[in-house]
C-alpha cells in the first residue's frame, strides 16, 4: 500500500482529469466490417426456439451472427469450466461460522421449506479441471440438454432499462426434460425487442453498396455483441433454473470463493475475466460538460461510446441490486466503486474473426479469454468517473496509485517490475495482463530514476522513448522508473499485437536500432 503522502500526490495529480486520461483519450485503431463466423450455432439457439411479437416476425437471419458468436463464447474454456461447475460441481452449504458441509439439492429444498436462509457454493470437480477436451465436451452436452428446457421471446413489455429476463415456467416437465434436468423447471428467456429492431436495421443497411464510416462499423460491432452478451447472461441464469428449479426459492450458488452470486455476471466473468460492455456514462458526451479542466476538443467529432471491462465481483453492481431489491447474494459488502479498464473495440472485431479463435485462443485453457486493455479508471456506484479525493482514505483501493500510474505510463498489456528488499535487490516480472514468467536481476535494470510525484513518471517516459516499467522502491518508499532491456525480448517472445502502448513502441524502436548497429 502506498504511503499517505503518495496517495495525496496521486490525488492531486489526477483529480478531475478524466477527459485528459489515457483511458478516455485512447485512439481506436481503424475498424473494418466484421466477417461472418463460419461456425454452427448451438442447438439451444435453433430457430424453432425463438418466438416473437408479430412486429418481429421473419427476421432470424438478422441475429444469426450474434448467435454464432454467443455459441463460440459459450464453448470457450472459461465458460466450459463454469457450466460444468454449476451443473455437476460439488455443492456445499456455508454456515454462519464459515464452516461448510457438502450437501445435495434435495436437502437444500427441504431446509428452505423449513424457512432456513442458505448460502450455496459450487466448486468444480477435479475431472473438470484436468482435461479441457473432456470439460468442453461435457459443457457442449449440458448446453444441448439445456436446449430442451429453453425458449426465447422478443417483446417490448420488459421493464424500462431491462434488456433481458429469465423466467421459470410453471407446470410439470415433459418426460424428455425430466430425464436431463429432473429437479429443474422449463425456462423462457425474454429479450428486449429494440435489440432486434436495431440488428434488423443494420442488416438492411449492410446489404446496400455504400461507404461505411468508423461510427457505422463501431455501431454494427457493438449491437451484434450486445445481443450475444445478453443471451449469454440469461443462459447463466437459465442453467441454474434448469439444475435446481426456481432461483428465487433457494438463490443462485456462488462460483467457488466469489463474493457475489449472480449467475449471468458469473458466466460473463468466466469468459472475459470481468464484465465486458459499453458504458455511456464514461463517454465524451456525458462527461465533457462537467470536467473542471478546459476541454476544447469538439464532442461531435469523437468516437462512439467506449468499450470497457469492469472487474467482478462488482461493488457498483452490488449497490445497484440492493437499491432496487434485485436477486443477488453477497458474502460481504463491497466498496461502491469498481476498477474499469478501457478495451479497444478492435477486440470485438477479433471475436467475429475465425483467425482469432483458430490462432489466438489457447484450446487447452479452461480460463477466461485474454482481453486487451488500454488504460484504467474508477467508476462509482452511479457508473460515473470517480474523483480520487472523493474516496475516503480507508476505502482507497489497494495499490490503486500504482495501477493508475502504470496505466498512464503505458496503456495496455505489459509487465510491471516489483522489488522485494532483503540483503540484495531482487526483481521479477509479475504478470499484469499477459502470461510472462521471466526474471530480471538488479544488474539488468538501467537508467533508473527516482521521482517525488507519480505524475513525473509520465513526462519522463515520453522523453526517453524507452521501454519502461514502474516499481515501488521499498527502501525509500518512492516510485522508480526503469528501462529493463529484457522488455525487447519479451515483446518478441510474446508476439504481442494490437494496441501499441508506449513501452511496446519504444521496444520496437530499440530492436530496429539494434539491427542497424549490427549491420554497421
pLDDT for the residue numbered 414: 32
Give the cell for residue 139. 459443457
Q: Give the torsion through C-alpha atoms of 10, 11, 13, 14, to 10 deg.
A: 110
Domain boundary among 386, 418, 434: 386
Q: Are residues 351 and 447 in the same domain?
A: no
Give the cell for residue 413. 498489456
Give the cell for residue 329. 447474494
What value does the mean pLDDT take over residues 157-169? Answer: 88
In degrees, rounded to 5, the angle at the alpha carbon of residue 480 between the alpha carbons of residues 476 and 484 is 135
What is the Cα 12 distance to its own chain's centre?
29
Range from 165-174, 469-478, 504-513 carrying the lowest mean pLDDT = 469-478
Q: Are residues 444 and 345 in the same domain?
A: no
pLDDT digits (tens, 9 = 90+) for 389-418: 444 333 333 334 334 334 433 333 333 332
Do the domain assignments include residue 404? no
CB 188 within 8 A of CB 169: yes
What value does the mean pLDDT take over residues 144-153? Answer: 95
Per-residue pLDDT for 276 more than 90? yes
pLDDT for the residue numbered 188: 94
What is the Cα 150 distance to its own chain's centre?
26
Q: Are residues 158 and 32 in the same domain?
A: yes
Per-residue pLDDT for 346 more than 50? yes
Do the domain assignments include residue 243? yes
Select the more confidently predicted residue: 296 or 57.
57
Per-residue pLDDT for 488 more than 60? no
Q: Are residues 441 and 511 in the same domain?
A: yes
Domain boundary among 355, 386, 417: 386
User: Could you tell me the sign of the dihedral formed by the alpha carbons of 179, 149, 49, 199, in that order?
Assistant: negative
Pairing of strands 100-102, 90-94: antiparallel
CB 116 within 8 A of CB 348: no
* Closest among 71, 82, 164 to 351, alpha carbons compared: 71
pLDDT for the residue numbered 204: 55
* Closest among 505, 417, 433 to 462, alpha carbons compared: 505
334: left (phi over 0), alpha (psi -120 to 50) or beta: beta
Of the segments 197-206, 258-267, 375-384, 414-423, which one has the largest average pLDDT value?
258-267
- Calculate Rg over the CA atoms of the chain: 25
Do the domain assignments include residue 94? no
pLDDT for the residue numbered 22: 76
Q: Are residues 342 and 473 in the same domain?
A: no
- d(CA 346, CA 360) in angstroms, rounded, equals 14
- d(CA 74, CA 239) in angstroms, rounded, equals 12
pLDDT digits (tens, 9 = 90+) for 49-98: 987 665 555 568 888 999 999 999 999 999 999 999 999 999 998 887 77
pLDDT digits (tens, 9 = 90+) for 431-460: 222 222 223 333 333 333 333 333 333 333
Exposure of 497 in the CB half-sphere (CA atoms within 13 A)? 7
The pLDDT > 70 percentage for the chain reads 60
Select the more confidently predicted residue: 256 or 462.
256
Q: Are residues 210 and 308 in the same domain?
A: yes
pLDDT for the residue numbered 54: 59
Q: Are residues 358 and 492 in the same domain?
A: no
Q: Kindly report the backbone phi and psi dihedral angles of residue 446, in degrees, each rounded to the nearest multiple of 5, phi listed first.
A: -125, 160
Q: Are residues 367 and 482 in the same domain?
A: no
Do the domain assignments include residue 343? yes
- d(CA 472, CA 402) in angstroms, rounded, equals 8
How many structural domains compose the chain? 2
Where in the sequence is the domain holding 438, given as residue range(s)? 409-519
Scored b (16 or more CB within 10 A) or e, 321-351 reads beeeeeebbbbeebbbbbbbbbbbbbbbbbb
Scored b (16 or more CB within 10 A) or e, 94-117 reads eeeeeeeeebebeebbeeeeeeee
pLDDT for the residue numbered 26: 82
Do the domain assignments include residue 106? no
Q: Are residues 414 and 333 in the same domain?
A: no
Name the E strands within 245-401: 254-255, 260-261, 275-278, 307-310, 329-330, 337-343, 376-380
pLDDT for the residue numbered 515: 54
Per DSSP, what are the bridge partners of residue 381? Answer: none
Per DSSP, what are the bridge partners of residue 416? Answer: 430
Do the domain assignments include residue 165? yes
- d(CA 490, CA 107) in angstroms, rounded, equals 53
Q: Are residues 427 and 339 in the same domain?
A: no
Do the domain assignments include residue 105? no
Select the more confidently predicted residue: 123 or 497.
123
What value does the mean pLDDT take over residues 177-194? Answer: 93
Please name the residue that has the C-alpha cell 446489404.
207
What 3-state DSSP class applies to 85?
helix
Q: Kindly report the backbone phi and psi dihedral angles of residue 376, in degrees, each rounded to the nearest multiple of 5, phi listed first.
A: -125, 145
Q: Are residues 423 and 345 in the same domain?
A: no
- pTM, whole model, 2 decimals? 0.71
Q: What is the mean pLDDT of the chain?
A: 70
Q: Are residues 169 and 269 in the same domain?
A: yes
Do the domain assignments include residue 413? yes
How would DSSP label each residue in 138-198? HHHHHHHHHTTTEEEEEES-SPTT--EEEEEPPSPPPHHHHHH-TT---EEEEEEHHHHHH
pLDDT digits (tens, 9 = 90+) for 194-214: 888 888 777 655 555 667 788
pLDDT for the residue numbered 187: 95
Amino acid at each position: 500500500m502506498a504511503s499517505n503522502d503518495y496517495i495525496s500526490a496521486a490525488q492531486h495529480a489526477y483529480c478531475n482529469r478524466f477527459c485528459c486520461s489515457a483511458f478516455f483519450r485512447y485512439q481506436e485503431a481503424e475498424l473494418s466490417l466484421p466477417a461472418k463466423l463460419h461456425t454452427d450455432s448451438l442447438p439451444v439457439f435453433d430457430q424453432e426456439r425463438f418466438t416473437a411479437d408479430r412486429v418481429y416476425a421473419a427476421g432470424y437471419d438478422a441475429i444469426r451472427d450474434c448467435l454464432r458468436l454467443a455459441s463460440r463464447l459459450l464453448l470457450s474454456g472459461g465458460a466450459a469450466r463454469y457450466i460444468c461447475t454449476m451443473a455437476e460441481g460439488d455443492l456445499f452449504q456455508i454456515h454462519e461460522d464459515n464452516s461448510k458441509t457438502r450437501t445435495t439439492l434435495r436437502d437444500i429444498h427441504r431446509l428452505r421449506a423449513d424457512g432456513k436462509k442458505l448460502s450455496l457454493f459450487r466448486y468444480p470437480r477435479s475431472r473438470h479441471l484436468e482435461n479441457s477436451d473432456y470439460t468442453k465436451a461435457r459443457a457442449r452436452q449440458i448446453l444441448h440438454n439445456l436446449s430442451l428446457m429453453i425458449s426465447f421471446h422478443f417483446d417490448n413489455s420488459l421493464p424500462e432499462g431491462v434488456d433481458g429476463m429469465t423466467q421459470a415456467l410453471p407446470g410439470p416437465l415433459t418426460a424428455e426434460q425430466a430425464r436431463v434436468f429432473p429437479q429443474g423447471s422449463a425456462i423462457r428467456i425474454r429479450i428486449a425487442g429494440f435489440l432486434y429492431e436495431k440488428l434488423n436495421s443494420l442488416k438492411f443497411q449492410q446489404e446496400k453498396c455504400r461507404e461505411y464510416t468508423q461510427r457505422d462499423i463501431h455501431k454494427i460491432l457493438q449491437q451484434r455483441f450486445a445481443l450475444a452478451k445478453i443471451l449469454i447472461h440469461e443462459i447463466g441464469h437459465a442453467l441454474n433454473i434448469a439444475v435446481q428449479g426456481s432461483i428465487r426459492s433457494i438463490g443462485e450458488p456462488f462460483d467457488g470463493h466469489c463474493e457475489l452470486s449472480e449467475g449471468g455476471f458469473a458466466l460473463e466473468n468466466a469468459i472475459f475475466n470481468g464484465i465486458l460492455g459499453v458504458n455511456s456514462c464514461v463517454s465524451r458526451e456525458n462527461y465533457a460538460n462537467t470536467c473542471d479542466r478546459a476541454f476544447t476538443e469538439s464532442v461531435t467529432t469523437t468516437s462512439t461510446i467506449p468499450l470497457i471491462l469492469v472487474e467482478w465481483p462488482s461493488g457498483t453492481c452490488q449497490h445497484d441490486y440492493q437499491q432496487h431489491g434485485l436477486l443477488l447474494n453477497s458474502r460481504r459488502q463491497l466498496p461502491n466503486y469498481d476498477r474499469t479498464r478501457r478495451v479497444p473495440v478492435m477486440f470485438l472485431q477479433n471475436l467475429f474473426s475465425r483467425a482469432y479463435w483458430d490462432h489466438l485462443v489457447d484450446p487447452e485453457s479452461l480460463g477466461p479469454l485474454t482481453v486487451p486493455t488500454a488504460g484504467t479508471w474508477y467508476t462509482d456506484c452511479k457508473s460515473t468517473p470517480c474523483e480520487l479525493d472523493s474516496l475516503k482514505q480507508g476505502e482507497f483501493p489497494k495499490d490503486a496509485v500504482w495501477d493508475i500510474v502504470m496505466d498512464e505510463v503505458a496503456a495496455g498489456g505489459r509487465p510491471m517490475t516489483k522489488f522485494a528488499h532483503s540483503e540484495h535487490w531482487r526483481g521479477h516480472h509479475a504478470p499484469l495482463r499477459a502470461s510472462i514468467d521471466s526474471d530480471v536481476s538488479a544488474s539488468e535494470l538501467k537508467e533508473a530514476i527516482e521521482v517525488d510525484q507519480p505524475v513525473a513518471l509520465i513526462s519522463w517516459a515520453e522523453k526517453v522513448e524507452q521501454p519502461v516499467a514502474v516499481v515501488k522502491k521499498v527502501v525509500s518508499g518512492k516510485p522508480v522508473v526503469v528501462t529493463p532491456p529484457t522488455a525487447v525480448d519479451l515483446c518478441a517472445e510474446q508476439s504481442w499485437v494490437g494496441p501499441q502502448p508506449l513501452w511496446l513502441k519504444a521496444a520496437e524502436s530499440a530492436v530496429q536500432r539494434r539491427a542497424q548497429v549490427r549491420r554497421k
